[in-house]
Structure 1
């Protein structure tokens, strides 16, 4: 027994669904079926009837994770409109030719900026880089950048764009968990992590370029090819409207300290205004939004089920058991230990969907964060590092997809860069733990 009526051993049993989930995703099972299996295990441990599980599912639809799932689907819908009206393509074109690419370093900066903007706006690495790659790969090849270097750029910038963009799943989740406003989270946590990441990645990119430029260059067909995209007057107009309206809506949201549901209004307004300016019909805009949302229905279901999984682990005392076991370490290290332990466990011990990692870690440590008065800024950095490091050091779907878009087969370069970034981010986490927590 521990803490009066709390049974530590039963609490450890309550962790079984979470442990099974970690094993399944590490074995590269798709997160949705893995979560279904673990929800069933959690329901059995908590002696839930079929009626009880149905009632829990109904409540989960209105939970914070249910809201995140809806926002992510709408984000995909907005992305569909930006692609349909060629706003996303025009943004990439403006960035690349605005910089005036006539050297390797300018090309690298252009690719990084384009990746940051598009992935940050669309909220998806795969979807964003899929738009960018056909336009920038020929430019990269023409100035002599290697596929290995371009792949490293895609991942390094794409991962950080997901923690900077206002509508991305990690950002929406972070704001909901920490209760920080977007501006505070951006300036005090996301940007510092992005800066150290980009410094480490910039150094590694040029080392990789030096090592691979002659050994593994782009082939001549890529060098001579052209994406063939030229913005039209309509796409330029729609892009300008999107930029100014986006800035105005975000500024207004920050000014009024709008809560997470405000994002839904922003996305719908942007989708319809940009669609109309881009000369889409009302019916086509609606169909485009729905078509985009349909691509993320699986994620919406995943988040609903994750709400159940976390609830069942918590109800069985699993998170309380972790807190109890960590107490000797925390009592020695205090706030610093809470921040470092949270970041390290997430980075090196938990894998899977980012939102699942964020929710799980927060539930594990939220009582300790409150008990020891840990700064929410330091805790936010811990959550960001926890979810980013995993993708940089483990050859998962994000890493492999970026290699595919860049037409690179050099996994070793991705791992080298990943560990350099992981070390840089961990160093920043320690600084926050020591001086900000």
Structure 2
């Protein structure tokens, strides 16, 4: 009788001291290859990703003992050594020791690699932030962006006109100077603008990057194939809700990853939603010339008559009133729909957010962009998440292609949002939320 092959879970957890000159390196490392549970959480909406690692009592780790001995009286052929220029031999001996309360400490570097059958993929690099050694050993960690919470941002002010992300993170303003981080190579290709930046207080670099999320400009860590030192880079992107066509995110050279429901998916709570355009509303938001946000909401006009040239296809409702002072200073017209304080009840509508990528626009321009977004919005989307096996080792902000022959309505290319990776006695799984369908797919795949 033939016995099918069995995939064996493998992990390699390396823990040691941080190298001050090259943070990606781990000095004096110990290696652990057995674990009870690992959970890694990351999202492109959060700069700081987290990981929890739980070890049972009695876990054994491997380390390398270094010692200096002279040549005299030593049989150098029986040990692994390195001969220095001054005739000193550095011994390298491997040893195995049980984990103790003093094995770990806060501030140490940690690297997690996961996979099957000895083929491992790098899944997390970061620092230990909390250590619990009560009933079991549990480490709480933050990714490499933890360093940015400890770096004071230099004080500077940008002009009133739209400031580019590349200028802030690059040489012009040097927000990332001396942090050890660089901009992702794909981010450099984008022309992403951010509002006026004025740093006059004691903010960290992490504070500044996290603050950009209110403009729907998200900063997160991503490994770059063009980065020679394997240090994760600062990637910047805009989601579908701030782009008229497709989201702006660094590409992944291996994507989109094809996920077949009958093979890769362990569990799914996806729901296919078909939205009636008559009960769809889009709320557009923008940063005005006064450095304050304002918004408008558009919906289809229920009494629209295509044969009447004076009939308007869309209605503007629940708009934010622009102040007279701002109107006088900038000429920013008050959007229609802001003339009354009465709010339209949209509890029976599907409300979709839109964030304008253009800074300091007026209300009329925001209405135009919001209507255009409404026209291009995909009414047949999905909500929920899928849980797949650890075949791919996916990260946030990568493209995945769903392929389901039994329910092809969900087929298409999506952008992964939040990714939760679990590894341990219950297997290797990745749970992903997929809120944005980038494009549909009518192609049929055979078995």
TM (norm. structure 1) is 0.26
Structure number having the greater helix percentage: 1
In terms of fraction of residues, the more strand-rich structure is 2
Compare CA radii of gyration and give the structure with the larger one. Answer: 2
Instruction: Identify the structure with bigger relative contact order (alpha carbons < 8 Å, sequence gap 6+).
Output: 1
- The TM-score normalised by the length of structure 2 is 0.25
